[in-house]
Structure 1
Amino acid sequence: MYNGAQVAPVSGSSSRPAWTPDPDRYMPAATGTRWPSGSTATPWTYQTGLNYQCSKLYFGSPDYPTNDFLVPFVGFQLTEGGNAPQETQSPATDMLIDEAFFIHPDGTESPILFGGNAAATVTAATGIVYGQVTLPAALPAWSIFGIRTVYHGAVGNAFCAAYRCQRHRGEKYWGAADLASIRALAAANGPSTAALDSDALYNTTGNATNSQQMAYGPCMVLAKGWDGRPVPLVLADSLLERQEIAASADARRNMGIGRRWLDQRDPVQGSLIPIVMGVPGSKSAQELATNALKRWVMIDAIATTYNSGKNIWTFVLDWSGRNDVNATAATWAAAKTALPGTRVRGRYGAGTHIVGVTIWPTVGSTDSGRTVAAYTVATQWGATLASANAIVLASAVYNKTIDAFPAFMSDTDPTKPPGAETFPLGNVVGHPGNQDGVTTWDTMRLPTTVLQGARVMFEYSPGLFTNRTLVEKKTDYGDGTADFRVAEVLATNVQDNAMLMGHAYTAADFIHPALYHVLRTVSRIPQSEKSKFYPAA
């Protein structure tokens, strides 16, 4: 049985059950959605002259036609880091939505209405409002569509925020002093307001004082038309998706290993759009627990109010556990497995189908991540993690498991991840800057095949290496080379035609894989693992 119906193998294949459509059931219909997150200590606030704001965000649709969209907006905000995913960082004032629109692939817009009204008030810390829109014709499968949200508040007030705009995908973030002015900016569709999306902070993470500003938008998008494919409810932390920030997102807004892998358009298993419950920093021990229940109440309310009691997901994918790290393997694994095994099943029933995923390591390096041999693996992330993963793979909590650990590791040493040497990219073209070691520079000319959003390592002087993050491709010269703007503006004196490699990690803490490592890992987790997402017939 699957979704209450008898299933049979796909004709000519035993690799997955046939999908049983339920076209009137609301299911996730947008890739790359996020929960609002922030900090009450350093909140996102409305600036003078910019307290009317408009976000224009683009998402990928499912690989089947959809219509009758349900678009929730929330007034609560999660913490990232130590107490994540607790919903304790909400602004003290309501979110005031002036209007919202569904953007069709051809650029035309349809209004999203809230109980028949264009505007809505989302109560601070607790509120949820549901926008709805039915299109004149179904959105085609595998489309790119947008949601444009206009909202405002008093100058100085804090607001909820969830999205860093992705410039290369046409996303925008405007601010003005009044509704008429913000509407004019949206109609002109010019560049984002510089004060809300500065070059200096583009593609950076942190808080409201030191990172790319985040904008408000829907926490998810649901639609009817479901063709019966599995829908994951994902328990996760930053290792699912937040290895990336903005500049490296794919055409469908996917970032990170988990989202990219699920959305792969496999000819047998298909692409899957998840509901991701976690945020960066989430601990399994803190999910679906004190101060971390509002999201769960919301998705259950959608099932009751809009879905005739049917959930907006079909199984649970446990990709969490890294942040529950403990010196004792059994304690570490127990924190991970208790979330799905005790709290999720306690909420949704013993028959809930749950798939577990193993945990990836954190390492150190004596050569800044250049070679595999120079990585160092502490006992915590070596023997202890191996024991914890073995417990996960053997746990009766899971109906099935996916051992994603080998896909993350190098070919030369299965106990260590790939180094920059794994990703040769050719050479820097000429040299950036003027080679005086004094004047800063922010642009490098590289082979055009190098990926925007990647972190790269290069040999700036014989035997010496450094790194840069490529935040924007500025100019493609049409000769196989292009100029890239970098995030780190320094005066490094770089030799001509320096050897170039893709760095495997985003930073010197060696926690989050960078783009080339992300894509390599995605390609090494077999799509056939998706066959584990079906309950036994």
Structure 2
Amino acid sequence: MPVVPVSGSGHPPWVADPNRYMPAATRVAWPGGFTQTYAAGLNYQASELYFGSPDYPTNSFLIPFVGFGLTQGNNAPQETVNPNADMLIDEVFFLHPDGNEYPVLFVGIAAAAATAATGIVWGEVTLPADLPRRSIFGIRTVWHGTVGNTYIGGYRIQRHRGEKYWAAGDLASVRALAAASAPSTPDRDPDSFYNTVGNVSNSQPLAYGPAMIFAKGWDGRPVPLVLSDSLIERQEIAASADERGNMGVWRRWFDVADPVWGETMPLIMGVPGAKSQLELAGSGSTIATLRWGLIDIVKNTYNGGLNPWTFVFDQSGRNDNNATASTWANFKFGLVDRVKARYGAGIHVVGVTIQPTVSTSTAYRTLAGLSVATLWNAVSGTLKSVNDLIKASSRYARWIDFLPYWSDSRSLGFPPTAELFPLGNVIGHPGNQDGVTTWNTMVLPDIVPNGARITFEYQPGLYTSRTVIARTDNGDGTITATVKEVFATNVQDNAALFGAGLGSDGIGVHEDLYGILYTVDRMPQTEKSKFYP
């Protein structure tokens, strides 16, 4: 096997195995959260999603689609959010960055049916030439169902990246929408719900698509099997995704193509709300093992007994919180034990410490306004004891102390607040300042990125926030931003402006975009040295 050389200090040599299927796409997501119902005239659907490829050439893509969905929150990651009928796939296409499209076939056939609640179907496509490293490629999935039946999805489309979600009453019509690259169907991408998380009646619709994407071409770099919860990416929803579709601290950090340690393409197992104690466990109405069966099919059917990963990265455990530190930690450790029982006691496992939940009296605007309960106190409370147990556990070959990177540089255990991110001033004022007429655009300095949540002093001493979901560059150092929240707020001229670090979900743990980028920048890529035995 070819060896990737290393000059001077840096990572150990990478022993390439180009015939081994490994994760080959950013952005992939398991379906789940809630089911949706096929409506009359909208029961043929298509998604066009874009992914980033690894930092090496790839080909021979292996793309599973599933008929089961995962619970998010509550009993996550149990695989019990299921359609009431099979997922009927009409066709799938691989969209090459050069503009060509290639059919993804299921045992040589364009169509497939993923059995409701249990099924996995395997799409395959081999390109005429290798896909160049770090490409952006698309997958267009077309599927249908009977009006009144339910279906699952996993993707909130990212408009600024050109993603689409169409629906029509027949196959020819939905194909025509895709061929014309028409705007998304309003029912499947309503403005009122864009970049919103909730239930089926109040959040951005979920499009069906690949459960995972694997490919050949692996150059031998470490590949993590990630035990995870919402902190992998749920801090973000859609509008703030980077150019490769990444959201959240860990996906963004893994994807940094560091000149020494390289990019890391993860195989992410968890979903928002996932509990360690429920993962890789249960059966029937509590099952959380179907995803593990999927990756083991890659191992045993396609990889000749080799896993599609090289080590385990354990970010899980936050949702298992308990007033007794040992109970809390043991839920996390129990998952590691189950993974080792499945794959061998000698696998390399990297542990990660847990960050706290905080409360605020200033809408997460100032450090002085933050407080923390004993359970979540990472300096002297229960969480400190849990993190100490993580760092002391022999289950982990190495560990990353995430807490200092996540924390405000001024105070360990508290997150970065808006006062750390001054952005200047709102330009003039949005709306007409009558406090009656609603508005949804405002002029801001052009340093404000898409998807950012901003905080501004709308009247002296009073602050409010908005989320930027679209932006138009005015060419003069400003942008006209479209914001998610539509109110009649009377805003003073040239209001002081800040980037929000935390708090859009109101639960005191999920960072907003400025907090995410702050943490990614503070966490050195040298931590990737721990990915090696």
Q: State the TM-score, normalizing by the size of structure 1.
A: 0.96
Q: Structure 2: which amino acid aligns with 1:520?
A: Y
- The answer for the alignment partner of 2:157 in structure 1 is 165
Report if aligned partners of 2:3, 2:16 keep a CA contact under 8 Å in 1.
no
CA RMSD of aligned residues (A): 1.2
Shift of 1:10: 2.6
Query: Offset at 1:337?
Result: 1.5
Q: Is 1:293 aligned to residue 276 of structure 2?
A: no
Does residue 319 (structure 1) correspond to residue 315 (structure 2)? The answer is: yes
Alignment map for 1:212-361 (pairs within 5 Å): 212-290=204-282, 291-340=287-336, 342-361=337-356
Deviation readout 1:114-164 (Å, 9 max, x if unpaired): 000010011101100000000011000010000000000011211110000
The question of 1:176 aligning with 2:168 is answered yes
In structure 1, what is the equivalent of residue 485 of structure 2? 488
Superposed counterparts of 1:375-414, under 5 Å: 375-382=370-377, 383-414=381-412
Letter of the aligned partner of 2:142 in structure 1?
Answer: V
- After superposition, residues 89-168 of structure 1 pair within 5 angstroms as 89-168=81-160
Residue 210 of structure 1: which of 193, 197, 202 is its match?
A: 202
Gaps of at least 5 residues in structure 1 are: none
> Using a 3 Å threshold, how does the CA distance of structure 1 residues 401 and 118 change in structure 2: closer, same or farther?
same
Mean alpha-carbon deviation: is it higher for 405-414 or for 20-29? 405-414
* Cα distance in 1 between the residues matched to 2:6 and 2:288: 39
CA distance, structure 1, for counterparts of residue 474 and residue 520 of structure 2? 30
Structure 2 Cα separation of the partners of residues 401 and 477 of structure 1: 46
CA positional deviation for 1:470: 1.1
Contact 1:54 1:148 in 2 (8 A): yes
Q: Secondary structure of the equivalent of 2:97?
A: coil
Contact 1:52–1:179 at 8 Å: present in 2 too? yes
List 4+ stretches of structure 1 deviating above 3 A. Answer: 5-9
Kindly provide the amino acid, as one letter, of the partner of residue 217 in structure 1.
G
Structure 2 residue identity aligned to 1:387: S
- SS of the counterpart of 1:285? helix
1:80 — aligned with what?
A: 72
Q: In the aligned structure 1, how far is the partner of 2:488 from the partner of 2:239? A: 23
Cα distance in 2, alignment partners of residues 489 and 127 from structure 1: 42
Deviations 1:329-351 (A, max 9, x none): 111111112111x1000000011
| 1:374-409: CA deviation from partner (whole Å, max 9, x where unpaired) | 101111110111111111011111000000100111
Are 1:242 and 1:256, in contact at CA under 8 Å, matched by a contact in 2?
yes
* Whole-angstrom CA distance in 2 between matches of 1:412 and 1:530: 25
Unaligned runs of 5+ in 2: none
CA contact (8 A) 2:33 2:81 kept: yes
The match for 1:530 is 528
Distance 1:47 1:527 in 2: 48
Find the aligned partners of 2:352 and 2:160 in 1 and give their Cα distance: 32
Which residue does the alignment assign to 1:519?
A: 517
Structure 1 residue 11, shift from structure 2 partner: 3.0
Contact 1:161 1:215 in 2 (8 A): yes
What is the identity, as a one-letter code, of the residue corresponding to 2:268? V
Q: Does the 8 Å CA contact 2:23/2:308 hold for their aligned counterparts? A: yes
Shift in Å, 1:415 = 3.0
Give me the whole-angstrom Cα distance separating, in 2, the residues matched to 1:197 and 1:425: 31
Contact 1:240 1:256 (8 Å CA) reproduced: yes
Q: 1:194 aligns to what SS in structure 2? A: coil
Tell me, yes or no, if the aligned pair for 2:356 and 2:413 is still in contact at 8 Å: no
AA paired with 2:384? Answer: A
Matched, 1:18 2:13: yes
Corresponding position: 1:499 with 2:496? yes
SS at the partner of 2:37?
coil
Distance 1:395 1:47, change over 3 A: same
Q: Which amino acid aligns with 1:349?
A: G
CA contact (8 A) 2:355 2:413 kept: no
CA distance in 1, matches of 2:412, 2:517: 18
* Structure 2 equivalent of residue 437 of structure 1: 435
Counterpart of 2:131, as a letter, is: L
Of residues 407, 412, 415, the one that matches 2:413 is 415
Query: 1: CA distance between counterparts of 2:136 and 2:173?
Result: 27
CA distance in 2: counterparts of 1:75 and 1:502, whole angstroms: 40
Task: Give the letter for the 2:356 counterpart.
Answer: P
Give the alignment partner of residue 447 of structure 2, picking from 443, 449, 452.
449
Distance 1:401 1:436 in 2: 55
> What CA distance in whole angstroms lies between the structure 1 residues aligned with 2:193 and 2:481?
16
User: Would the aligned equivalents of 1:427 and 1:500 in 2 still touch at CA under 8 Å?
Assistant: yes
* Counterpart residue type for residue 431 of structure 1: H
Measure, in 1, the Cα distance between the counterparts of 2:267 and 2:197.
Answer: 23
Contact persistence 1:38–1:44 (CA under 8 A): no
Count of aligned pairs between the two proteins? 525
Matched-pair contact (CA < 8 Å) for 2:403–2:413: no
- Contact 2:403–2:412, Cα closer than 8 Å, also in 1: no
